[in-house]
Amino acid sequence: MNSQAINRRVLSIQSHVVFGYVGNKSATFPLQVLGFEVDAINSVQFSNHTGYDVFKGQVLQEKELADLFEGLEKNNLLDNYSHLLTGYIGNASFLRQVAQILKKLRQANANLIYVCDPVMGDDGTMYVPKELLPIYRDEIIPLADIITPNQYEVELLTERKINTEADIWAAVEWFHERNIDTVAISSSDLGKPGELRAFISKKNGPRFAINIPRQGVNISFTGTGDLFASLFLAHSYETTDLGIALEKTIASLQAVIKRTLEMMPTNMREGKCKVTSKERELKLIQSKDVIENPSVVLKAEQIL
């Protein structure tokens, strides 16, 4: 097989929505724009994300995941993949099946990179079954090359509260002790007022932090963590400089949010009326240019 054929192909296992952008819908287009083939397996398929008043759909079970993967395996397609990316998964047996899939992918390609976004919750709220937590912590996390949790997910996994930057770096070490090469904490509330702060660390390597201005008036966006994981997968594959990878990831993420806000009705954007779930959907297609060519404004700070 031509070595170029396996350079940029991602098997992405996470949620799917018919309308809107979360999970695979949030990750696939940016990866494709950045030159990656993406083969998606949906852990759930819903009409829309769960922030709407109503959602309908199906949760896939481990047998369905195993059947889909077996089809790839029987056709000798596993050595095509450069990456495995996982995001939202809704049940324990499905999550455990991911470990078996990863084992076979690494047998086919020893250089495969596993990017794990341990999607469990945010802002103090856990929105997956509690039995997934010990499976992530004890069985899945130690298999990852790159992990992209938010602050709350870090707290869940490490069983320690994050109050200071020292707490962040102690948590980072917890992951490195489990042989995770790169820890990218996508967001935390440790920034200055009006800012989030993201952190990145390579085992036995450099550490960086970056301050991210909050955009919108008390507007929260769904799918940004999924977008972060996909962008970081792509940019960290392009360069060995993790500071640059983080800067480009945040640049595109901020630009997508900015464009999403610009396309909202003015009264919503200014906080004069309630922002609907529909209007908060990320404007990914309209942001193709800023995904493909991120303009870096926010610089990462190297932490000694």
Is 289 an annotated catalytic residue?
Answer: no
Residue carrying the six token digits 């919503």: 268
* Sheet architecture: strand order including 83-86: 57-59, 37-46, 9-17, 83-86, 113-116, 146-147, 182-185, 195-202, 207-213, 301-303
Nearest-angstrom CA–CA distance, 4 and 272: 52
The C-alpha atoms of residue 180 and residue 148 are separated, in whole angstroms, by 11
DSSP 89-144: ---HHHHHHHHHHHHHHHHH-TT-EEEE----EETTEE-S-TTHHHHIIIIIGGG-
Tokens matching residue 126: 């856990």
Cβ atoms 198, 184 nearer than 8 A: yes
Q: Which of 117, 122, 167, 226 is catalytic?
A: 226
- Catalytic residues, by residue number, are 226
